[in-house]
């Protein structure tokens, strides 16, 4: 299995844990709060508890990366 496939599998597993049996539409707000909490925790862990670095990583790395993935998904839906 390639690293990209392993990453996709990890992302799917993480999403299922975050959903925790909740309805993805009806419980959207609560799910997004959990996601926000999880992202904050991961940023702090990976940036060695440095809040400035965590904020920079969110703004300069994570947010643009998420935007690119959403744009790619939109392209795939148009096909």
pLDDT tens digits, one per residue of 25-72: 999 999 999 999 999 999 999 999 999 999 999 999 999 999 999 999
Cα distance between residue 75 and residue 53, in whole Å: 32
State the pLDDT at residue 1: 80
Predicted model pTM? 0.87
State the pLDDT at residue 40: 98
pLDDT at residue 8 tops 90: yes
Residue 21: phi and psi, rounded to 5, are 80, 0
Cα distance between residue 5 and residue 55, in whole Å: 28
Helix (H) or strand (E) run with residue 18 in it: helix 3-19
């Amino acid at each position: 299995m390639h690293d990209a496939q392993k990453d996709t599998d990890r992302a799917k597993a993480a999403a299922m844990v975050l959903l925790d049996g909740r309805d993805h539409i009806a419980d959207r707000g609560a799910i997004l709060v959990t996601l926000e909490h999880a992202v904050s925790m991961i940023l702090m862990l990976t940036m060695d508890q440095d809040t400035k670095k965590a904020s920079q990583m969110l703004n300069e790395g994570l947010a643009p990366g998420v935007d690119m993935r959403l744009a790619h998904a939109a392209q795939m839906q148009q096909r």
